[in-house]
Amino acid sequence: MAEENNQYTFENESYRKTYWHTCSHILAQAVKRLYPEVKLAIGPSIDEGFYYDMDSPFAFTPEILEKIEAEMRKICKEKLKLERFELPREEALKFMEEKGEPFKVELIQDLPEDAHISFYKQGEFTDLCAGPHLDSTGRVKGNGIKLTACNAAYWRGDSNRETLQRIYGIAFPKKEELDAYLARIEEAKRRDHRKLGKELGLFMLTDEGPGFPFFLPKGMVLKNTLIDYWRQVHKKYGYVEIATPIILNRRLWERSGHWDHYKENMYTTVIDGEDYAIKPMNCPGGMLVYASEPHSYRDLPLRVGELGLVHRHELSGALHGLFRVRCFTQDDAHIFMTWDQMKDEIKNVVKLFDEVYSVFGLSYQIEVSTMPEDHMGDKKDWDFATETLEAAIQELGKDYIINEGDGAFYGPKLDFHLADSLGRTWQCGTIQLDMQLPERFELEYTGEDGQKHRPVMIHRVVLGSIERFIGVITEHFAGAFPAWLAPVQVKVLPITDRAAEYAKEVAARLDGDGFRVETDLRNEKIGKKIREAQLQKIPYMLVVGDKEAEDGTVAVRTRAGGDQGAMSLAEFSEILRAEVDSKIIK
């Protein structure tokens, strides 16, 4: 009954996608009414809203987008019925040729000879489309529509083809939902890690190295603090750490399968007349480490972690701050185990993920990805591995959804989709079972029976890419990192030059206690110093003047503007130590 009640609401993904798909047709109709010379390409729904690609002799400026929006609202009020019909191939081609829509003609030409070629008509407008759609434009609420952007896009994603204009839009059944969405988008812009990274002095991106981020001193403090925590938690869960070379020869990558299946994304070079590649992932190096010495069943499970710098050739148009880069630190781990250890090891990894994500206040949704059509290995092994994944998370009391056919070619996997403070999701953690690489690299262990056996393996990352995770948490915390992560934890602010020496003493004592501290000794008003420290999102400010110097105290302020009053330096140090050690989020 609950599903029936939600059938025609945005809680139902299918209805939401249908609503947005209908909006894309309303957008196209509005454009053709106002600007008949524009040629239409494609207009699907997407994860958030819809878009339509168009070939226009002029740019769609913000002023033009406003006119199009207004026309879309009119079309909604007209309550035009959407009618589906089909045409034979030749008639369909003639229909679109007469309308002067060359992109539609090309799409029809590329359809199979026996394809059902369907169209949707609404009023005077007809579009080539497989659907589905709402039954009337009146189902879409005009005051809930907003065109959000217009960017360039290549026809069919081919950089050698026509450059089109892609108009993006969003729509909701209620204006209040639209307003809330737009407010969230504005907040996301305020939290953009590229903007905050520059303002807070964390990292920089240059034209000299597109996709290759530079970490600045404060960014390195943040990155190293994150890595230190990674090492602590992995030691607790029984991992050892290794490091493997960045460049390895072609024979290795052929053996792993990457040379045949991933070469276009790899950077290659020649050394002593032999082909080499910069590693796009750490796994093959990890296989060599395991194979370097004999193993017994007593050694298993063997949990091996690596913070390896990897390089992948991404298209320039796909690069995006720290979210999509060409080099990053992958926090890989490989667990070598027997088949009967598989379930317990999966549960152990999930518990580690729980501990790590909770520290950052990130919740998650688990997705089980099953055997794809293009896979290696026996179905019997796949079934056992998939059932074991599901059983492990069920025993932990975790909810999950099934993503049919989206596993890796070598085994099923669990993907962890993290939800941040704005409700956005990020795919970071993954647990992948691999029955193939141990076979390719002929990995073995000696069993209790004295015979040689093949181990099974888990690939897993918890943060994914250290760089990308820094981007995620920068936006999650809006740059206001909890004290344990903050590049600068305390700033000491003398009110006058007379208190400068005492400010230095306070900073030196806190530094000796292991805290990250700075002083602001400029000859500026204290109000300005406080405001600038708040803009730098420093967790604590210690204001010191003549009275504090005389009493041996500090006046404590938090970045949120809270005045905590005066206290001894020892008392403040104890408070901060407890906050840092417990990794409290404030």
Please identify every residue annotated as catalytic: 283, 312, 330, 332, 334, 413, 459
> How far is it, in rounded angstroms, from Cα 515 to Cα 217?
16
- For 470-473, which contacts have Cβ atoms below 8 Å and span 24 or more sequence positions? 470/193, 470/202, 470/203, 470/219, 470/222, 470/223, 470/226, 470/322, 471/193, 471/197, 471/321, 471/322, 471/323, 472/193, 472/323, 472/418, 472/420, 472/426, 472/428, 473/360
Amino acid at 528: K
Q: How far apart are CA 311 and CA 212, in angstroms?
A: 9
Residue 301 preceded by cis peptide, ω within 30:
yes
d(C-alpha 355, C-alpha 282), whole Å: 24
Residue 444's identity, in one-letter code, is E
Tell me how crowded residue 261 is: count the other CB atoms within 10 A of its CB: 11
* Positions of E strands within 44-162: 45-46, 49-55, 82-87, 117-122, 125-128, 145-154
Determine what percent of the chain falls in helix, strand and coil, rounding each to the nearest 5.
Answer: 40, 25, 30
Distance between CA atoms of 288 and 226, rounded to whole angstroms? 28
From residue 369, how far is each of 32, 119, 281, 332, 382 by CA, in Å?
42, 34, 21, 19, 11
Classified as helix, coil or strand, 164 is strand
Q: What contacts 77, CB < 8 A, 6 or more positions away?
A: 138, 142
For the chain, the maximum distance between any two Cα atoms, rounded to a whole number of angstroms, is 94
Residue among 18, 34, 121, 116 at smallest CA distance from 73: 34
Which tokens go with 97? 């040729």
